[in-house]
C-alpha cells in the first residue's frame, strides 16, 4: 500500500477518535516514524503531506536528514546517549526522550538556543522501558529550570504492546494527569502543552485520552 493510502485510513481513525472525545483533528500532529523504511519511503510520506518525521537512532536520523533536510520537521524519538547529542542537536526540532539529568545537562551545553524536549515517562513501569518514574516526574521537570536551553514542551510515553484496552487507557490517563499537574505549576521553562503518546496499535485510545503527537510507524509507512 502507498503511504497516501495508509494516511487516508489513519486520518479516518483519527477523526473517529476525535469525535468520540470531543477533540479537533487539527490538534493532532502525526509523526511518521521512518526508522524501518528507506529514504524514498520517507519522501513518500512527505509527498503525501506528512511533514513531521521521527527517527530513533542517530545514524539513520542523520542519513535521512541529509537526504531530506529542510522539507521536514524532525523528531528524535529514541533513547539518546549523551555523547551523541552534539551530532544531532543542530538538526532536530524536538527530542522526545529526555529522561535524565545528565542528558539535560549535555543538551543544554551543546545547544545554542532553546531545544523543545518531551520528558519521557515510564508510566507502565516495565523494566525494559526508558523514562522517568511517574512519581519523580514533577520534581524532575521542576529541576530542569537549571538548564536555560531546555524547554519542556510536553511529556512522552511508550505503552506496552498489549491488547488490554483498559490498561492502555489507564497508562495514557496517568500521563495526562501528570501533564495537568506540571501545567498547574506555571513554570516558564515547562509549558508542557503536548502529550506524545500513541503508536500504530494504540493511537486511537491515546487520542481519546489527550495525545497531541502520535508516533506512527508500521501502519503509515510500513508495507
Binding interface with ligand PLP (CB under 6 A): 33, 35, 56, 77-78, 158, 199-201, 215-218
Of residues 97 and 179, the one with the C-beta less far from ligand PLP: 97
Of residues 11 and 200, the one with the C-beta less far from ligand PLP: 200
Inter-CA distances, 206 with 9, 158, 166, 183, Å? 17, 10, 11, 19
- Chain centre to alpha carbon of residue 39: 20
Which residue's C-beta sits nearest to ligand PLP?
217
Q: What is the closest distance, in whole angstroms, from the C-beta atom of residue 187 to ligand PLP in the complex?
A: 25
Of residues 189 and 221, the one with the C-beta less far from ligand PLP: 221
Q: What is the closest distance, in whole angstroms, from the C-beta atom of residue 181 to ligand PLP in the complex?
A: 23
Residue corresponding to grid cell 518514574: 133
Q: What is the closest distance, in whole angstroms, from the C-beta atom of residue 96 to ligand PLP in the complex?
A: 7
Contact 148, 196 (CB under 8 A): no
Q: Exposed e or buried b for every residue in 9-35, given b needs 16+ CB within 10 A?
A: ebeeebeebbeeeebeeeebbbbbbbb
Q: What is the closest distance, in whole angstroms, from the C-beta atom of residue 188 to ligand PLP in the complex?
A: 28
Of residues 189 and 215, the one with the C-beta less far from ligand PLP: 215
d(CA 175, CA 197) in angstroms, rounded, equals 9
Amino acid at each position: 500500500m502507498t503511504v497516501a493510502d495508509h494516511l487516508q485510513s489513519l486520518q479516518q481513525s483519527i477523526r473517529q477518535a476525535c469525535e468520540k472525545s470531543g477533540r479537533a483533528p487539527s490538534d493532532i500532529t502525526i509523526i511518521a516514524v521512518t526508522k524501518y523504511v528507506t529514504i524514498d519511503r520517507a519522501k513518500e510520506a512527505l509527498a503525501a503531506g506528512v511533514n513531521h518525521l521521527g527517527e530513533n537512532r542517530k545514524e539513520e536520523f542523520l542519513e535521512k536528514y541529509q537526504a531530506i533536510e529542510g522539507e521536514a520537521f524532525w523528531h528524535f524519538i529514541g533513547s539518546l546517549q549523551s555523547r551523541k547529542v552534539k551530532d544531532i542537536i543542530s538538526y532536530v526540532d524536538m527530542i522526545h526522550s529526555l529522561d535524565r539529568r545528565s542528558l539535560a545537562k549535555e543538551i543544554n551545553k551543546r545547544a545554542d538556543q532553546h531545544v523543545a524536549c518531551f520528558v519521557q515517562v515510564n508510566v507502565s513501569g516495565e523494566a525494559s522501558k526508558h523514562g522517568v518514574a511517574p512519581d519523580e516526574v514533577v520534581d524532575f521537570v521542576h529541576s530542569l529550570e537549571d538548564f536555560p536551553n531546555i524547554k519542556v514542551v510536553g511529556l512522552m510515553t511508550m505503552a506496552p504492546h498489549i491488547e488490554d484496552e483498559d490498561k492502555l487507557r489507564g497508562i495514557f490517563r496517568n500521563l495526562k494527569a501528570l501533564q495537568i499537574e506540571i501545567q498547574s505549576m506555571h513554570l516558564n521553562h515547562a509549558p508542557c502543552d503536548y502529550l506524545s503518546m500513541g503508536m500504530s496499535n494504540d493511537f486511537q485510545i491515546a487520542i481519546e485520552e489527550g495525545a497531541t503527537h502520535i508516533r506512527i510507524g508500521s501502519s503509515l509507512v510500513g508495507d
